[in-house]
Chains A and B, each alone.
Chain A
């Protein structure tokens, strides 16, 4: 087991270097000059410009810049954000809990609805519940996130007034954010209505961010279940006189979970990408919104650091998924 983990972590190294190169080059390929953007409308003198170029190291060859970036990373230093002059590492981890909270809610939403939907569709294959669920899943998957978000806002926030439009909590509340997770902080604050307000603010972003993973999980669960339902051991389970709930939800599902877990792991990448749009639409103060702001102000260090951190998170999650395989199916463990 340890050997397996070490080997997997070993494959991280080339991926990590690859991502660092791509993120480093990507932001520099964008037209626009971070120093001119920093100066704003007033502009600056040529001497000051040259001085700043030297200060940020932009006068050096790209390779030298990359090398100093890479050595920085290895010492845990992602550099200072151009925009805020604060360490990128600190910025990232100040904002990351907001994204993590939203992503976790979205993935829970997608799993809790997606897996049962897939099971029902597989058990009732060809009948109306199957067709209804799978058509809905396809529509959900095909829906552009920003458009779907706007529809939900117009309907639930605008017309019905049920949910707030943006932010993480109502402005009426103020309390220390120790953990960065609004649900936990608001609960611990003990202020009446704070927790409810945090939940209300989470509902629409969760639905928007969770829709595509939900559709993918439902479809994957269905196809994996269809394969498993015709297996001999499912027949054995039925022959024991077990309830359909136990036969489908335990004996069949446990065997169908491997591809489903894989998809859940991969959808973490989708969630991070989706978070950028979702956070922008709902003014959610997470890393998605932070990255978008970083890109528009050509904040090189913030964007490349953020991309790198997201890539590492996706890699770690997928490693965890691989480790889960063995727990789900003991046959893989040996």
Chain B
């Protein structure tokens, strides 16, 4: 049984113009010790699906799912109290903006010890010791002094390390990192990713890495799930995905990597992710797809077989060539 098993998760937001579907029937499976990358452009519902899991969406969100089990507990049906016992302990999450994700009014130490206090039966001095240990673990020098510091006294990279320390405080089974490096300098990005992967290896926790950077995916993930406009369009092991992408969107994302560019001009995907008012009738990617035909523009495709990376496409690619007719 997977550690995290989410089936048919949908999230809709109540807006002034009716419901907006941000996540549309997503499945997510994460095994113990797995590293899953969820990739997609802005607006593809990557963060929202994970926030839904954590119960962190604003009140305007309506979350539905066949089930969302974590470690045998269904997060879709459990009470808020039951969820709080899991969230922050067995599943934890770090976010895109480390500077604003820490409370400016409290010291780093307070915020880390608080995470420990919420879930573990430790004494005050044990919590302090553990907090020092955690800061050492995430590579912050002078941990005792840092614990007395306020977030505004630290840099962005240090804040993200603190966030990571806080997230792993209770030794979670799953850590969700929501674009953890997007707001950081390039040099710091690599350090943070390395830290996350080291921690993952050391502790054996599962890691879900939300990113829009295929380069990050290549360096970190074991498995990749590609999302587009709230739908999962493809899922494969990382080597297989880079070798043979089956969905045209994945293919286009990979082609946009500078390392893979063959011409002087970097290829890009024309257009933007459809929003609330311009959702196409058939395949959601059809307006931007190089291989789309009338079938694509009128009928919504189903997911292809496991061998074809569950690609949500009428004509999945095989080594870059659409398979027509025989699917």
Q: Which residues does A use to contact B, with CB under 8 Å?
A: 230-233, 235-243, 251, 254-255, 328-331, 334
Contacts and interface: CB of A to CB of B under 8 A. Distances in A.
A237 B56 CA distance: 10
B20 interface: no
A238 B296 CA distance: 42
A237 B103 contact: yes
Contact of A329 (B88, B89, B105, B119): B105
Interface stretch (B2-10, B92-100, B127-135): B92-100
Given A232-B101, A254-B106, A243 B84 contact: yes
B205 to A, nearest CB: 16
A236 B118 contact: no
Closest 10 CB pairs of A and B: A241-B88, A240-B88, A233-B103, A232-B100, A241-B84, A241-B87, A254-B105, A232-B101, A330-B150, A240-B115
A331 B150 contact: yes
A251 B166 contact: no
A246 to B, nearest CB: 8
A294 to B, nearest CB: 45
B216 interface: no
Contacts of B197: none
B322 interface: no
Could you say which of A242, A251, A255 has the most chain B C-beta atoms within 10 Å of its C-beta?
Answer: A242
B102 interface: yes
A224 to B, nearest CB: 13
Contacts of B93: 239
A230 B58 contact: yes
Nearest to A235: B56
Contacts of A331: 104, 150, 152
B240 to A, nearest CB: 33
A238 B118 contact: no
Nearest to A125: B59
B201 to A, nearest CB: 23
Contacts of A232: 95, 97, 100-101
A226 to B, nearest CB: 12
Given A230-B58, A232-B95, A330-B150, A241 B104 contact: no
B32 interface: no
Nearest to A127: B59
B75 interface: no
Given A235-B95, A239-B54, A330 B102 contact: no
Contacts of A231: 100
Interface string B42-67: 00000000000011101000000000
A257 to B, nearest CB: 9
Contacts of B100: 231-233
A305 B311 CA distance: 84
Interface residues of B, number: 30
B262 to A, nearest CB: 40
B95 A236 contact: yes
Nearest to A236: B101
Nearest to A230: B58
A242 B118 CA distance: 6
Contacts of A235: 56, 95, 101
Contacts of A330: 104-105, 150, 152
Contacts of B87: 238-241
19 contacts: A230-B58, A231-B100, A232-B101, A233-B100, A233-B101, A233-B103, A235-B101, A236-B166, A237-B103, A238-B87, A239-B93, A240-B87, A241-B83, A241-B118, A254-B106, A255-B104, A328-B105, A330-B150, A330-B152
Contact of B89 (A233, A241, A328): A241
A264 B55 CA distance: 35
A258 to B, nearest CB: 10
A25 B101 CA distance: 55
B118 A233 contact: no
Contacts of B102: 233, 236
Contact of B92 (A239, A255, A328): A239
B164 to A, nearest CB: 12
B147 to A, nearest CB: 14
B218 interface: no
Contacts of A254: 103, 105-106
A251 B114 CA distance: 11
B168 to A, nearest CB: 12
A328 B106 CA distance: 9
Interface in B110-156: 114-115, 118-119, 150, 152
Nearest to A329: B105
A102 B138 CA distance: 54
Contacts of A251: 103, 105-106
A241 B58 CA distance: 16
Contacts of B85: 241
Nearest to B116: A240
B131 to A, nearest CB: 14
Contacts of B89: 241
Contacts of A334: 152
B104 A329 contact: yes
A11 B83 CA distance: 54
Given A239-B88, A331-B152, 14 more contacts: A230-B58, A232-B100, A233-B100, A233-B103, A235-B95, A239-B93, A240-B166, A241-B84, A241-B85, A241-B87, A241-B88, A242-B84, A251-B106, A330-B152
A239 B114 CA distance: 12
Nearest to B93: A239
Nearest to A251: B103
Could you say which of B87, B89, B100, B105 has the most chain A C-beta atoms within 10 Å of its C-beta?
Answer: B105
A238 B115 CA distance: 10
B86 interface: yes
A241 B95 contact: no
A29 B84 CA distance: 67
Contacts of B253: none
B36 interface: no
